[in-house]
Structure 1
Amino acid sequence: MTDPHVGPAAAPLYSPARVKDLMARHGIRPTKSLGQNFLIDGNILRAIADAGGAAEGVRVLEVGPGLGVLTRELAERGAQVTTLEKDQGLRPVLEETLAGLDVNIVWGDALEFDYASLPAGTRVIANLPYYITGPLLSRFMRAPSIVSATVLVQKEVAQRLASQPGDDNYGFLTALAHLYGTVRPVRDVPKGSFIPAPAVTSSVVRLDFDRERPQPSEAYIRLIDAALHHRRKTLRNNLKMAGHPVDRIEAALEAAGLRPDVRAEDVPLAQMRQLADALGVD
């Protein structure tokens, strides 16, 4: 039975009562343009931290701490947390919710942060702003010091990341994720786990980056981007639109054992690499 004399401040930070109290006292209205949806489900919170490997001494990067709910969970496990936040209006609430914790808050745009500056072995654990999920994941993959990213994203994005060549939702982000490592879906997250509730179901997904394998060149990444740029066009036509000579494209397709009318989303990365070699792309 709930004690009527216990106020919101005594409730767990992720509880709806505590979240609503923080928002009311600090005059916070979630900003849709910044993708602000605050977690209110302790089970989901712990699942993200567990899947991401948050533990004593682990270096963690978070993007978009919001009210500090996930941030606090990570820091209380002993992780060394750096969190990036663009909304200066959240400064007072984070000063309250993260009081007494050793958390490095970097105020600024996550799209402008220098991810190459992170210490080796950094793990990303975050409830990502949905409107910049793709660009952020791309930056994580390219940052040599980041070894994994366990992120809460739209379910559609999680499915895309985990898809395989030939699947309907296979695309550039999928190929990029598999170029750099592996993808493991963790669990779905219902709309009711947030305030305000988003319009779509979300999912937790973990990406592990293999920093021992040779990293793809920017030229090869540009080729894959061009190949997958227009999903309904053939690989031949996409490469032609990207400026590759038709005769070299046709020769490269033949060398890679691919049909002239094949679409890039049906091509495994091993054959895409063969195609790139035949085109002279490093």
Structure 2
Amino acid sequence: MTLPDSTHPTPDPGSAAPLYSPARVKELLTRHGLRPTKSLGQNFLIDGNILRAIAEAGGAAPGVPVLEVGPGLGVLTREIASRGAQVTAMEKDERLKPVLAETLAGTDVKVVWGDALDFDYASLPDGTRVIANLPYYITGVLLSRFMHAPGILSATVLVQKEVGQRLAAQPGEDAYGFLSALAALHGRVKHVRDVPKGAFLPAPDVTSSVIRLDFDRSRPAPEAAYLKFVEAALHHRRKTMRNNLRMAGHAGEAIDAALHAAGLRQDVRAEDVPLDQMRHVALELGVVR
């Protein structure tokens, strides 16, 4: 749905503090009787340089369809829209309706009210770019949804620094796991910049990172069976790949033969295995063809 007309006067941009300033954010929250909700992961950006960097890194440009999840007070939303992008913002907290009606007045931003976990991402138009300060508690689930949505070209997102490290990790690195593999199977990951706690109001407990994921839609999407196999192989860190696959139901002798055919030791850990060799094992076990 589109934004309703605000019942509040729109501040004059020329006389008001920038929308991202701490004073303006506090004034908006106070006037609308709101407090950030920790359960919804509400930490509002108050650093203009970082806002501009996110919009730039995300590819916000005239005519580009952009999806933002969790616009909050509309600070990043307005920055993206000011660059001419066609913005759809998805917000769960309906207490923010009057705030967004005020802060996004004069823009053509479309606001969809509802839970991001219930949205059909496959319905997005080709060429969509996600630009968002994601709620930390559902980051992994949302990134997986973005990866599987054929219309989404990229996702430039603010995430916990630890999650950013996992996304960008390579086989053999400490942070490597299923999320790392999932990202690599769908495209490539770029670390844009770290973001200190003080760039948010209220300040979160952790440092954040801006990460850009570019999805390669020119190659076939990984099969569901293969993704399940990779997840099982990586499920228990510090266990051997052989043990993890046995726990997933594969026979020991078949696993041994598959590892040998892929040029891997029987005591190898899955987090040390490059994806091409991982697929070789999956082929030998008949998981994929």
* Residue aligning to 2:224: 218
Letter in 2 for 1:25: R
Pair 1:66 & 2:72 matched:
yes
From 95, 115, 122, the counterpart of 1:109: 115
- Cα 1:270/1:59, change in 2 over 3 Å: same
From 234, 237, 241, the counterpart of 2:243: 237
* Residue aligning to 1:164: 170
Deviation at 1:7, TM superposition (A): 11
Alpha-carbon distance in structure 2 between the residues aligned to 1:43 and 1:112? 32
Pair 1:132 & 2:121 matched:
no
3-state SS, counterpart of residue 99 of structure 2:
helix
* Residue aligning to 2:33: 27
From 87, 91, 112, the counterpart of 1:85: 91
Alpha-carbon distance in structure 1 between the residues aligned to 2:172 and 2:15? 51
CA contact (8 A) 1:82 1:104 kept: yes
Alpha-carbon distance in structure 2 between the residues aligned to 1:159 and 1:184? 10
Alpha-carbon distance in structure 2 between the residues aligned to 1:76 and 1:147? 21
Alpha-carbon distance in structure 1 between the residues aligned to 2:201 and 2:267? 47
From 100, 108, 131, the counterpart of 1:94: 100
Alpha-carbon distance in structure 2 between the residues aligned to 1:107 and 1:248? 50
* Residue aligning to 1:44: 50
- Cα 1:7/1:95, change in 2 over 3 Å: closer
| Structure 1 residues 172-216: Cα deviation after superposition (integer angstroms, max 9, x where no partner) | 000000000000000010000000000010010100000001210
* Residue aligning to 1:154: 160
| Structure 1 residues 83-108: Cα deviation after superposition (integer angstroms, max 9, x where no partner) | 11111111110111111111111111
Between 14-23 and 240-249, the greater mean CA deviation after superposition: 240-249
CA contact (8 A) 1:14 1:39 kept: yes
Pair 1:267 & 2:273 matched:
yes
Alpha-carbon distance in structure 2 between the residues aligned to 1:255 and 1:213? 26
* Residue aligning to 1:141: 147
3-state SS, counterpart of residue 10 of structure 1:
coil
Q: % of aligned pairs identical?
A: 76
3-state SS, counterpart of residue 20 of structure 2:
coil
Alpha-carbon distance in structure 1 between the residues aligned to 2:115 and 2:234? 28
CA contact (8 A) 1:227 1:238 kept: yes
Letter in 2 for 1:281: V
Letter in 2 for 1:12: P
TM-score, structure 1 as length reference = 0.96
Alpha-carbon distance in structure 1 between the residues aligned to 2:271 and 2:259? 14
- Runs of 4+ aligned structure 1 residues displaced above 3 Å come to 6-9
| Structure 1 residues 218-263: Cα deviation after superposition (integer angstroms, max 9, x where no partner) | 0000001101111021111111111111121111111111111111
* Residue aligning to 1:193: 199
3-state SS, counterpart of residue 175 of structure 2:
coil
Deviation at 1:112, TM superposition (A): 1.1
Pair 1:254 & 2:248 matched:
no
3-state SS, counterpart of residue 230 of structure 1:
coil
Deviation at 1:281, TM superposition (A): 1.3
From 172, 182, 188, the counterpart of 1:176: 182
Letter in 2 for 1:246: G
CA contact (8 A) 1:9 1:18 kept: no
Letter in 2 for 1:151: V
3-state SS, counterpart of residue 156 of structure 2:
strand
- Aligned pairs for 1:7-26 (under 5 A) are 10-26=16-32
3-state SS, counterpart of residue 101 of structure 2:
helix
